Amino acid sequence: MTQQSDHSSRHAGFELLRILSMMMIVLMHGIGHGGLGTTAAPGTFPYFIYWLLFMLGRVSTNCFVMLTGYFMWQSKTKASRLFRIEIQVLFYSLLTFVIGLFAGSSSPSAGTLLRAVFPTTSCVYWFCSCYFILYLAIPLLNKIIASLTRSQHRFILIVLFLLFSLWPTVCFWSDMSRVENGYSYVWFFVLYFTAAYLSIYQVRISSALCLSLYFVFSLLSVLVRISASGIEARMGLEGMLDTLGGYQSPTVFFASVCFFLFFQNLKIQGNHPKKIILAIAPLSFGVYLLHDSDFTRAFLWEKIALSRFGSLPASLGYLAIATLSITCAGYLVDTLYQKIYRVVFRKKAEGKVDEIAARIYRSIGKGERSFSLALIFIHDNRMLAERAFYCFFTGSQSSKRFSIVSHAAQAPALLLNQAHINFLQTLCFFHNIVTRTAYNAASLCSVPVSRSQPDQFLCPDLVRLLQAQPNRPV
């Protein structure tokens, strides 16, 4: 949904995909949130048509995330881009909050106001919250992708599919993978790796085959839903239908990939159509933010009342009109917003954000390898698990590299005893790096490991500090 404005060259086919996908999202919400999907009895022809349209549009969100992976796998993240996204999300969050207050769909409470002011952390828009985490993780994901051969990348995709698509769909009663039917940044990571593979190796499938498979997999999704609807009702298997039709479902996933590849092949002829597409596409994110806010979602679809028409042709016609109206309204509002944003913040503001971010990064590095970030996992309330972690070191002129270390239970004490040391420079202390997990991880990252010199991965400053500790574990 977010725009790839950081790229000088824009693929008109993908930009058209962005526009159509947003319309499909509105259509999908009309069937789901608007109640059309529940007005017809399961097994009837209207039920089949409604859910076929729903599944045809189900690929849209996956495609938006894949667009990010396709273009960003070899790009650097910018603080200004996150700033731009956050400002836009905040604007629409406050706008829909105010609309909700006047409409009576949101309460004037302190908790609701806090959600409106902090929409990303409050998950007012689930997509934005997941995308924010994805964007923060892009530097790490890109390093992993860059280190992979084609066969390794393909193998990882197979593993990711089995763990985060097939498994949670088949075992719908348990979400051990935390994929949450695709409403999770975990699933966004899977889509990112998938799109990066398509971009790196320029996977090509004929347009006719892509379109055919897209319809076949979408039809399979509908047939699975029809078959499962009766089973869920009779056996009381709550959540079965939602999981089988989730973004992570194998049929939805493969339909998304095929739909994506179709637009990869698409060549827009003529300068005039290209100009229109390139002008409209960046406004698509605003359409989503305007119509699918937690503060106004229920009120919007209640007022539209798509289910007021009993006959299938009438309801489909009304759905088409509502979809076009909401989409056009979103584009108009976002056009106004973009003008306001350019006036208020201009390019100098974004440049200032990037400058501040770079300054913070340099201050962390301060002339030598001094930046170390690590995750520490508690195990059995007795010791920190001896796991492998990526520690990111950077120097003023040296290249970036990963270091893999682990630490035992004394870490908290060491941190407390060294509180006077610059926290950013000595964030974590590590000692027990000679564990099996550490060596395995080092091998995966192609980091040379010497069992005779366990401290070789540590920053020299940290080594000296550790050696100075009287309670250093042996």
> By C-alpha distance, which of 427, 301, 450, 286 is closest to 364?
427
Q: What is the pLDDT of residues 260-273, one digit of tens each?
A: 999 999 988 888 88
> By C-alpha distance, which of 250, 39, 95 is closest to 162?
250
Whether residue 274 is predicted with pLDDT greater than 80 in this model: the reply is: yes
Reported as a pLDDT band with limits 50, 70 and 90, residue 120 is very high
pLDDT at residue 417, rounded to an integer: 37
**CA distances from residue 262 to 207, 257, 407 in whole angstroms, order as listed:** 5, 9, 49
b/e per residue 361-373 (b: at least 16 CB within 10 A): eeebbeeebbbbe
Q: What is the pLDDT of residues 225-235, one digit of tens each?
A: 888 887 877 77
- Sign of the alpha-carbon dihedral angle for 455, 460, 462, 468: positive
Q: What is the pLDDT of residues 370-399, one digit of tens each?
A: 333 333 333 332 233 333 333 333 333 333
Q: What is the pLDDT of residues 239-259, one digit of tens each?
A: 788 888 999 999 999 999 999
Whether residue 188 is predicted with pLDDT greater than 90 in this model: the reply is: yes
pLDDT at residue 16, rounded to an integer: 95
Distance CA 343, CA 339 (A): 6
pLDDT at residue 379, rounded to an integer: 30
- pTM (predicted TM-score): 0.76
Identify the H or E element spanning 413: helix 411-417
Q: Which residues lie across from 405 on neighbouring strands?
A: 389
Q: Higher pLDDT residue, 215 or 403?
A: 215
pLDDT at residue 430, rounded to an integer: 32
> By C-alpha distance, which of 205, 189, 153 is closest to 68?
189
Mean pLDDT of 277-297: 94
Q: Higher pLDDT residue, 405 or 1?
A: 1
For the chain, helix (H) and strand (E) counts, in that order, are 22, 4
Whether residue 409 is predicted with pLDDT greater than 70 in this model: the reply is: no
Whether residue 54 is predicted with pLDDT greater than 90 in this model: the reply is: yes
Strongest mean pLDDT among 108-117, 152-161, 165-174: 152-161
Q: What is the pLDDT of residues 19-38, one digit of tens each?
A: 999 999 999 999 999 888 88
**CA distances from residue 317 to 245, 422, 432 in whole angstroms, order as listed:** 25, 65, 67
Mean pLDDT of 61-88: 92
pLDDT at residue 42, rounded to an integer: 81
pLDDT at residue 226, rounded to an integer: 87
> By C-alpha distance, which of 426, 447, 436 is closest to 406?
436
Distance CA 120, CA 361 (A): 24
Q: What is the pLDDT of residues 194-218, one digit of tens each?
A: 999 999 999 999 999 999 999 999 9
Distance CA 242, CA 228 (A): 10
b/e per residue 262-295 (b: at least 16 CB within 10 A): bbbeeeeeeeeebebbeebbbbbbbbbbbbbbbb
Lowest mean pLDDT among 144-158, 328-342, 409-423: 409-423
Q: H helices within 204-249, ranges in order? A: 207-235, 240-244
Distance CA 120, CA 446 (A): 36
**CA distances from residue 15 to 40, 211, 372 in whole angstroms, order as listed:** 35, 18, 39
Mean pLDDT of 436-464: 41
Work out the number of other CB atoms within 10 angstroms of the CB of residue 181.
Answer: 20
Cβ pair 69, 131 in contact under 8 A: no
- Can you read off the two tokens belonging to residue 459? 């920053």
Distance CA 116, CA 110 (A): 10
Q: What is the pLDDT of residues 303-336, one digit of tens each?
A: 998 888 778 889 999 999 999 999 999 999 999 9
Q: What is the DSSP letter of 104?
A: T
pLDDT at residue 189, rounded to an integer: 96
DSSP 429-462: ------SHHHHHHHHHTT----TT-GGGGS-HHH
Q: What percent of the chain has pLDDT over 70?
A: 74
pLDDT at residue 364, rounded to an integer: 59
Mean pLDDT of 62-88: 92
